[in-house]
Structure 1
Amino acid sequence: MFIFEKLEVYNKAKSFNLSLRKYSKRLSNDPFILDQLNRGSFSILLNISEGSGRITPRYQAHFYTIARGSTLECASILDYLKDADTIEDSFLNSRFKELDEISRMLFAMIRTNRIKHKDGSHKAEWG
Structure 2
Amino acid sequence: MDNNNLYKKCYAFAIRIVKAHQHLSTEKREYTLSKQLLRSGTSIGANVAEANGGISVADFSSKISLAYKESLETKYWLSLLKDTGYLGATIAESMIVDADELSKILFSILKSTRISPKDGAK
Tell me the TM-score normalised to structure 2 length. 0.83
Q: Does 1:12 align with 2:24?
A: no
Distance 1:30 1:42 in 2: 18
2:47 is matched with which residue? 47
CA RMSD of aligned residues (A): 1.7
Offset, 1:34: 0.8
- In structure 1, distance between residues paired with 2:112 and 2:55: 14
Tell me how far apart the structure 2 counterparts of residues 99 and 29 of structure 1 sit (CA, whole Å).
Answer: 24
Distance 2:111 2:52 in 1: 15
CA deviation after TM superposition for structure 1 residue 85, in Å = 1.3
* C-alpha distance in 2 between matches for 1:86 and 1:35: 13
Q: If you compute each CA radius of gyration, which structure gives the higher value, 1 or 2?
A: 1
Measured after TM superposition, the shift of residue 58 of structure 1 is 1.6
Structure 1 runs (4+) deviating above 6 angstroms are none
Structure 2: give runs of 5+ residues left out of the alignment. 116-122
Between the aligned partners of 2:70 and 2:31, the Cα distance in structure 1 is 19
> Deviation of residue 112 (structure 1)?
1.2
Q: Give SS of 1:85's match.
A: coil
User: Percent sequence identity over matched residues?
Assistant: 26
Taking the aligned partners of 2:52 and 2:109, their CA distance within structure 1 comes to 10
TM-score, normalised relative to structure 1:
0.80
Report what 1:123 is aligned to: none
Distance 1:29 1:76, change over 3 A: farther
Give the Cα–Cα distance (whole angstroms) in 2 for the partners of residues 41 and 25 of structure 1.
13
What aligned pairs does 1:1-127 form with structure 2 within 5 A after superposition?
7-27=4-24, 28-114=28-114
Aligned equivalents of 2:82, 2:33: Cα separation in 1: 13
Q: Which has the higher contact order (CA 8 A, sep 6+)?
A: 1
Q: Deviations over 1:30-70 (max 9, x none)?
A: 31211111111111111101111113212111110000111
Aligned residues: 111
Answer yes or no: is the 8 Å Cα contact 1:61–1:110 preserved in 2: yes
Unaligned segments of structure 1, at least 5 residues: 116-127
C-alpha displacement of 1:99: 0.6
